[in-house]
Amino acid sequence: MIDPNVRVRFAPSPTGPLHIGGVRTALYNYLFAKKHGGKLILRVEDTDQTRFVPGAESYIIESLAWCGIEFDESITVGGPHAPYRQSERKDLYQQYCIQLIDSGHAYYAFDTPEELEELRKNAEKIKKTFTYNTESRKNLYNSLTLSEEEVKRLINSNVPYVVRFLIPENTEIAMDDIIRGRVVVKSETLDDKVLFKSDGMPTYHLANIVDDHLMEISHVIRGEEWLPSLPLHILLYQAFGWNLPQFAHLPLLLKPDGNGKLSKRDGDRLGFPVFPLQWFDSKCGEISSGYRESGYFPDAFVNMLALLGWNPGTEQEIFSIDELVQAFSLERVGKAGSKFDPEKTKWFNHQYLIKKTDQELAVEYQPFLKEKGVEVNIKLLKKIIGLVKERVNFVKELWEETYFFFHSPEAYDEVVIKKRWKPDSPEQMTSLAEMLKSVDDFSTENIDVAISVWLEKNQFGMGAIMNALRLLLVGASKGPHLTDIMAIIGKEETLHRIHKGVQTIK
């Protein structure tokens, strides 16, 4: 259903490379916006300066662009609610914070980090956890317990403070989530979260709610890890007197064995990337692999991600981005976490690879060949690729399946020699070469006919001859139909490889 009031956002914090779970969140927002003819906004949430990582913001932008996820409003394209980077909207949050203090929904707290740490430690000693909540706040150093004059005095003498949200006492907070339905929590279970920090920056909670409101966000679609923040967010909307957006919390991406959340560390440990692009961590010098650099096609990657948590309700697995837009709905996103399946991910890439034309693949393969010092015309390359593409998942794997088209074997597989090279092989192969010399039009069909006539005449077994011949032409027991290889490398090269092999293999 077209609804131009649909406005959704992807709101990453530039604290490191974007995990594939984050890419999926961005993708679902994109699909939802497109499906409803709405707008997608990219907002950078960089108010936590202690977690800022240089390069992370541009990494996020490049990753999403590689996936084909385009934004209608963002830090790069601008828009009616610019700026879209929260650090540039700093002054705005302060006024909303004051509004909450004035209306009695928030308060100043002067407890020092050391004092709070002490309270935490003492609670731990008696196996409890300290939280700044509806009970404990009554005995702490804040504007609820101090006199008005004292509060003024502290503020005027620049004593550092934070602003905390005043969680109401004895209240039930009901939350409606498109994926999870209704959830109710008691206010006693919540703590008085900091809204504004002593460094003059808002926390995530305040900035996020203020911006979602000002940017007229209609649906908040984000990862399940933000579900615990939802009660506070709802209370914040109510405190401001603003309408709630709709919420949808997406299920976690799980490790392949289903045991826990797929983490940054799982990727290279288990042999697959968890990041869209390669990431270089300048702090520890570590490189984490990326889908792009590993040879994945962006559309295959996006197709795979779309199905991790959402299902179309049919058996269909291959979807173009337009088909995804048509089929997508939040109602078909499951509650349970989705196991990441690295093998299935390769399968997707294979499906996209075989759908490409030989011409497209040839163009993508040529740079690899250049690196190997191989020059080959595109017409021939297309033919070669057509013969082997079913066998590979990635363009880079084409080399293992095609190198023998470009040069004669430098070595012969010992295991294959033992199995396939018989005492009479040298004589048979020499005789075969002699016969092939007389095949004028060296096409697959002509070679096939000539060989079967020759086999018939000499009463040789087809299997034994072809296996020995493959060893001489390829150096191993692999490759596509042998006479296809012969037609492509040509008569001269075929005869050269037979003679060379017969002389080399002892």
Binding site for ligand GLU (CB under 6 A): 11-13, 45, 204, 208, 222, 226
Name the phi and psi angles at 369, rounded to 5: -65, -40
Our CB check for ligand GLU shows the closer of 13 and 483 to be 13
Active site residues: 264
- E strand residue ranges, 68-140: 106-109
Cα-flanking dihedrals φ and ψ of residue 266, to 5°?
A: -65, -40
What is the distance of C-alpha 380 from the center of its chain?
35
Q: What is the 3-state secondary structure (H, E, C) of 188-200?
A: HHCCCCEEECCCC
Per residue in 452-480, is it b (16+ CB within 10 Å) or e — as a string? eebbeeeebeeeebbbbbbbbbbbeeebb
Q: Compute the least distance from the CB of residue 11 to ligand GLU, in Å.
A: 4
Task: Look up residue 358 and give its amino acid.
Answer: D
Token code pair at residue 126: 């008696």
The nearer residue to ligand GLU, 12 or 202, going by C-beta atoms, is 12
Cβ-proximal residues to 342 (8 Å cutoff; 6+ apart), any chain: 256, 270, 271, 272
For ligand GLU, the closer of residues 11 and 388 by Cβ is 11
102, two tokens? 């004035």
Half-sphere exposure of residue 230, counting CA atoms within 13 Å on the CB side?
Answer: 27
CB closer to ligand GLU out of 193 and 222: 222
Task: Tell how far CA 142 is from the center of its chain.
Answer: 44
The full DSSP string for 388-443 is: HGGG-SSGGGHHHHHHHHHS--SS--HHHHHHH--TTHHHHHHHHHHHHTT-SS--
Residue 503's contacts (CB-CB under 8 Å, 6 or more residues apart) are none
The CA distance from 246 to 178, in Å, is: 7
CB 194 within 8 A of CB 203: yes
Closest distance to ligand GLU from the beta carbon of 163 (Å): 20
Q: Which helix (H) or strand (E) holds 220?
A: strand 219-223
Q: Compute the least distance from the CB of residue 400 to ligand GLU, in Å.
A: 40
- Of 130 and 226, nearer to ligand GLU (C-beta) is 226
Is it true that the peptide bond before 14 is cis, omega within 30 degrees of 0? no
Q: Is the Cβ of residue 11 or residue 485 nearer to ligand GLU in the bound state?
A: 11
As measured in angstroms, the least distance from the Cβ of 204 to ligand GLU is 6
Please give the Cα distance from 411 to 312 (Å, whole number): 50
Which one, 84 or 204, has the nearer CB to ligand GLU? 204
Q: Are 279 and 263 in contact (CB under 8 A)?
A: no
Please report how close the Cβ of residue 43 comes to ligand GLU at its closest, in angstroms: 8
CB of 300 to ligand GLU, least distance (A): 25
User: Least distance to ligand GLU from the beta carbon of 128, Å?
Assistant: 30
* 68 vs 228, beta carbon nearer ligand GLU: 228
The nearest distance, CB 327 to ligand GLU, in angstroms, is 24
